[in-house]
Homo-oligomer: A and B are copies of this chain.
């Protein structure tokens, strides 16, 4: 009976269970609060037990990235390169919006896991299948950069408003004073910040991140299309002069 009871309440750990728990925990409490100790606790186990299933925290993070990548849809078939790329990037973005730690972790990873390489390979494949030259594909992949994962460096995180200043909220007069400060010191920043604030279709705060993302993505894709159509082969006017200094 003790055996039975213990067996029911303690399913043995496994790499997959550890990774799943890590993903869930990071989703819930954020990546900066994900420690081996905390994760072990969540699994009802002593910290060192995890090391029987993952070699190190680095490997844990790699595994989490793999889990994330596996949630990205495969390329849509017979949709044309542009649509295929577009849909895939947006699928990746959806995965990243669910797992908000993804951006940071993806950025930090330097060792590419097979899953990551596989994604990149198949991504490249979309361009080649679309008739892009190997060279143009190469450049185009660089131009996409992290956008291929569905994210970009967020420039206007929460800034430019000055609402949440840590745990303490400033008194209203201080806020007003700060706004005046800002207006005086950063007039241009203020212009674009306030302009984007009172758009109609905006739900939450400053600006519609999804719109901005798709705007830039489409701008790039259109550029790619133009280069491709004119049969790109490193024409002089497209080649930037490599600045020596």
Chain A positions near chain B (C-beta within 8 angstroms):
90, 94, 107, 110, 112, 114, 117-118, 120-122, 124-125, 128, 134-135, 137-139, 141-143, 145-146, 148, 152-153, 155, 157-160, 185-189, 191-192, 195-196, 201, 207-208, 210-220, 222-224, 227, 238, 240, 242-243, 245
What separation, in Å, do the CA atoms of A153 and B185 have in the docked complex? Answer: 31
Can you show 9 pairs from A to B with CB atoms below 8 A apart?
A117-B160, A117-B189, A139-B215, A139-B216, A143-B216, A210-B243, A214-B240, A220-B220, A223-B223
Q: Are A145 and B216 in touch, CB under 8 angstroms?
A: yes
A232 CB to closest chain B CB (Å) equals 10
What separation, in Å, do the CA atoms of A152 and B182 have in the docked complex? Answer: 29
* Chain B residue, CB-CB nearest to A214: B240
- 10 A-B pairs besides A120-B155, A135-B196 with CB distance below 8 A are A110-B158, A117-B159, A141-B155, A142-B212, A142-B213, A143-B212, A145-B152, A146-B153, A208-B242, A218-B240
* Chain B residue, CB-CB nearest to A210: B242
Q: Are A120 and B189 in touch, CB under 8 angstroms?
A: yes
Q: Are A215 and B185 in touch, CB under 8 angstroms?
A: no
What separation, in Å, do the CA atoms of A212 and B135 have in the docked complex? Answer: 11
A34 CB to closest chain B CB (Å) equals 16
A240 CB to closest chain B CB (Å) equals 4
Q: Which residues of B contact A143 (CB under 8 A)?
A: 212, 215-216, 219-220
What separation, in Å, do the CA atoms of A64 and B196 have in the docked complex? Answer: 30
What separation, in Å, do the CA atoms of A19 and B120 have in the docked complex? Answer: 39
What separation, in Å, do the CA atoms of A220 and B217 have in the docked complex? Answer: 10
Known A-B contacts A121-B186, A128-B188, A214-B242; A195 and B138 likewise in contact (beta carbons under 8 Å): yes
